[in-house]
Each structure stands twice: as C-alpha cells, then as structure tokens.
Structure 1
Amino acid sequence: MEWTIWAGFAAGLLISTVTSPVGVSGAVFLLPVQLSVLGVPSPAVTPTNLLFNVVAGPGALWRYRRDGALRGPLARRLVVWTLPGVLIGAAVRVFALPGPGVFRLLVAAFLLPLGIWLCLRTLRPARRPPDATEPSARVLAASALMVGVVSGIYGIGGGSLLGPILAARGLPIARIAPATLAATFTTSVAGAAAYAALALASPGPVAPDWALGLACGAGGLIGGYLGARLQPHLPETALRLLLGALATALGAAYALQALA
C-alpha cells in the first residue's frame, strides 16, 4: 500500500510539471496510471482523478494569479458552463457506464483523436489573424457544457479538451492555460462532491480512493506550480508534440486492451 502512495505522488508531480504550462491539469494522463498501475477500480478511478484535480489545482492557479494571468472574463465563462455538465456526466458514469471494458473504450475514444489532433495542429498550425479572439458566447457555452459532461464521465476536469478548442481559435496559450485550469479546478470540486453523493446510492466502488487521490494531488500541487512558473521559458511546440504523442500512445494501448 505504501508504494502506491509514493508512486502516486511521483506520478502527480511529474505529469503536472509537464502539462500545466499548456492548461492541462494532467489528470488525462494520470488516469491510465491509476487504472492499470495503481489498481484503482472502475468507476472509483474517476472521482479519484477528480480529487487529484482538486488538490493539485491551486498550485498552478496561485502562480498564474500572482502573474496576473487570471484576469479577464474567459475563466468565469468556462466555469459557469462546465459546472452543470460535470454533474450530468457524473450521473451517466455511475449509472450507465460502470464496466471497465466500456470505460477503456471511452478512454481510447477521447485520447486517440485528442493526441492526433494535437500533433497535427502543432505540425501544421492553422493560420489565424494576430487579433484572434475567443469564440462567441453561444459557441463557448455549448463547447464548455459538452466538455463538462465528458469531464464528469472521464474525470479529467476538461482542460485537455477546452485547451485545444480555444487554441484552434487562435488564442495564445498564455491566455488559455489559466482559464482552462480554473475551469478544471471548479468542475473537479463539483464532480468529486457529486460522486461522493452518488456513492450513497450505488453498491459499487464509486467513492474516491482518498489516500491515493490526496497523494497524487500533493505531487500535482508542487508540479503545477513549477510548470506554471516555467511556462514563459518552455518551447510551446515541443510541449504540444509531447502531449499529443503521449495521448495517442495511451489511447492506442487502451483500445487494444478493450478489444482484446
């Protein structure tokens, strides 16, 4: 048991350090580690991942707030529309998608296209005017709500999906990262609370693994701060390619496991 705690701490630290500069908490990559290496059962792995986001989030957010990067309405709009979606997604995850086989297919379905898209978009970036702005209020609301539902099912917080959506509109990573991490943190708080309540009505392992979630989150708290501090000095192209390649590899591995 002790080795899993330390392994969770190390995984949270390493993943958050790499992913927080681009507005991703790291839960999208931590989830397969929890599921396959640390042995967290499904669907309890989803609220455990949300718990990681809750504990890890303030590290990067505090640094971004200190740098003044959280100013503006983008973060508030993302939070308002992702919150109801994550509650819907939590209910779907518990009552409609409890099986590990289906869950692995779901993981692959999101990771594979996400990774391929990140790589292609990085290698062949879309041409956008330098004054590109955020999507319209209607498009932003629909996108955030949809991502909120997916986040509640998958336990990722939403930054790994919202980031690419906003980046495709030409917004700079320096503006995207703080807003998506803020949405990830608030939706993870709501999602973790929803799973704790749903655990009372479900006989399966729905409640989070508190010890492991807190250990992963403690590592993510430190890693998130370090990543946010390093963001101005890191090459964005290399980070996007790394994230895309990792997501593609993990998605392919889970697709093979689910279909085997």
Structure 2
Amino acid sequence: MIWWQGLLGLASGFLVAAVTAPVGVSGAVFLLPVQLSVLSVPSPAVTPTNLLFNVVATPGALLRYRRRGQLGGPLTRLLVLGTLPGVVIGAVVRVFLLPGPQAFRLLVACLLLPLGLWLYVRTLRPPRRPILTDGPSPRAVTALAMAVGIVGGIYGIGGGSLLGPILAGRGLPVTKVAPAALASTFITSIAGALAYAAVLALTTPGDVAPIWALGLLCGLGGLIGGYVGAHLQPRLPESGLRLLLGTLAIALACLYAVQALG
C-alpha cells in the first residue's frame, strides 16, 4: 500500500461514516466500491478488510449514542443473537462459493435494490397504521437477523447495516434502530473478521486475509466520521433519515448492477 491509498482510505472512511452513521449503517457497504475499483483490494480479501473497518469505525458512533442513552435494550440483544452465528456462516459461503467479484456484485445489487425501493415507497406513502408499534416479535427478529447475518458475512458488513433499512421499512423509528444496528454490526464484524483472519486465511489459498493497514486507516477515518454523524442525527427529521437510507441503497445497487453486467 502506498501513501495515497492510505490517505484516500482515511478520507473515504470518514465521509461514508459521517453520512451513514445517523441511519445505523457503518459505512462499509458504501466503502466497498472504493476498495474494489479505486484501491484495487483483491477479492475475497475485500470482505474481511471491510469487517476490519467496521470493528475500528463503529465505536465512534456507539460512544455518541451511549452518551444520549440510546444504546442497549432488547432489540440490540435480539439482533446480535441472530447475526453473530450468521456472519460466520456467510464468511464460509463467501470464500468457498462466491469468490468471484462479478457474482458478488450481482448478489448485492439484487438484495439492495428492492430494499431501497421498499423503504423509499414506505416513506413517501406511509401506511395508515404502523405495522410495528411495540417492536417486532423476538422470534421474527432473531430469524431475520440470522438470514441477514449470513448475507452480511458474505458482503463484509456484519449484518446490522442491512437490518437497519429492513426494520426502518417495517415502521420502527430510525432513532431506535440505528444504535441497535450499529451495535450488532460491531459485534458481528469482530466475529467475521476473526473467521477470515484466524481460520479461513490459514486453510484456504488466495487473498483471504484482510489488508490490515488499509482496513485500519479506513476504520480510523470512520471512527471520527461516525462520531460526527451520530452527533448530527437528532438534528435530522425521521423522514429525511429514511429517505437517506433508501437513496443510498438504490444508488449502490445500480452501481453494482452496472459493474456486474458490464
């Protein structure tokens, strides 16, 4: 890694975390195209590098949420219970079944496009009655978290970054979802990074281990940006936070679809 790659990684980590932390997304989901296309991080090493970014970056936003008393609670525990085993399964799937970047990008596009459109429509045309008032059932959240955790392990986002848009689309306030999703992302990213670095990298040939220097620099930028973004959340309207989630998901899905099919 040369100096300009580290500087770009630091700046990119700050920008994506500052924009996405208010809605419960670590920023790894939007940092990945920069790593693949600009910084030339090989696949599948880009996935554990993104998980390393999550581990370093998310405590900044979590610290801010904790100071406001938003961190913790049953939703966080349910998300971790499902995503923690799921992200390990996803890491295995990523290495042995989806090593190529084309299939990887197409899978992500197919996942994020309908998710972003759904969140956008529900924000602009909300139902007369909210689907969830007291929160989803524990069994439903755990099952959903398990499925999303597997996808998160494949994608390198820990799972919480996908649960945030899904739960917000079901009617939960973003101010409640964001801290729980980020906490889930942090814990499961630790498990996913260890699965890649300590197990799969030792037993599988090729570029499987994370790019440590780049991941740490991106994470340092995200640590600062996440704190700034979480600080800005109370100043943003709920509808604006939802539209931001939907817009980012749709934009990334379109970008990945073009790259995968081009």
- TM-score bracket for this pair, using the shorter chain length: over 0.9
Looking at structure 2, the residues matched to 208 and 47 of structure 1 have their Cα atoms a distance apart, in angstroms, of 5
The separation in 2 between residues aligned to 1:249 and 1:70, in whole angstroms, is 29
d(CA) in 2 for partners of 1:114, 1:214: 30
Distance 1:239-1:170 versus aligned 2 partners, 3 A rule: closer
The AA in structure 2 aligned to 1:220 is: G
- Contact 1:134 1:169 (8 Å CA) reproduced: no
User: In terms of mean alpha carbon deviation, does 1-10 or 159-168 score higher?
Assistant: 159-168
Cα offsets for 1:187-221 (capped at 9, x unmatched)? 00000000112011111100011111111100110
Change (3 A) 1:119 1:198: same
Query: Partner letter of residue 44 of structure 2?
Result: P
Deviation at 1:122, TM superposition (A): 2.1
Superposition pairs of residues 112-123 of structure 1, within 5 angstroms: 112-123=113-124
1:145 aligns with 2:149: no
Describe the superposition over 1:211-257 as per-residue Cα deviations: whole angstroms up to 9, x where unpaired. 11111100110011111111101233334323423332222222122
Structure 1: how far apart are the matches of 2:117 and 2:55?
28
Superposed, 1:173-212 pairs within 5 Å as 173-196=174-197, 197-212=199-214
Give the Cα separation in 2 of the matches to 1:31 and 1:127.
Answer: 37
C-alpha distance in structure 2 between counterparts of 1:221 and 1:157, whole Å: 16
Q: Greater CA deviation, 110-119 or 70-79?
A: 110-119
CA distance in 1, matches of 2:257, 2:156: 18
The residue aligned with 2:221 is: 219
Q: Larger deviation: 122-131 or 14-23?
A: 122-131
Shift of 1:130: 9.8
Task: Give the TM-score, by structure 1 length.
Answer: 0.95
Contact persistence 1:105–1:255 (CA under 8 A): yes
Give the C-alpha shift of residue 129 in structure 1: 4.5
Report if aligned partners of 1:147, 1:158 keep a CA contact under 8 Å in 2. Answer: yes
CA RMSD of aligned residues (A): 1.6
Give a deviation string over 1:40-62, Cα, whole Å, max 9, x none: 11100100000000000110111
Mapped to 1, the partners of 2:231 and 2:41 lie a distance apart of 31
**Unpaired segments ≥5 residues, structure 2:** none
- Which whole-Å CA distance do the structure 2 matches of 1:134 and 1:230 have between them? 25
Mapped to 2, the partners of 1:116 and 1:213 lie a distance apart of: 30
Alignment of 1:129-140 (within 5 A): 129=130, 132-140=133-141
Normalising by structure 2, we get a TM-score of 0.94
Q: Which runs of 4+ in 1 moved over 6 A?
A: none
In 2, Cα distance between the equivalents of 1:104 and 1:245?
18
More displaced 10-residue stretch of structure 1: 5-14 or 239-248? 239-248
Equivalent AA in structure 2 for residue 101 of structure 1? Q
Which sits farther off after the overlay, 248-257 or 67-76? 248-257
Structure 1 alignment gaps of length 5 or more:
none
1:81-117 CA-to-partner distances (Å, cap 9, x unmatched) read 1100001000000011101211121221223223222
Question: 1:40 is paired with a residue of what secondary structure?
Answer: coil
Shift of 1:171: 1.8
Give me the identity figure in percent: 70
Query: Does the aligned pair in 2 maintain the 1:52–1:214 contact within 8 Å?
Result: yes
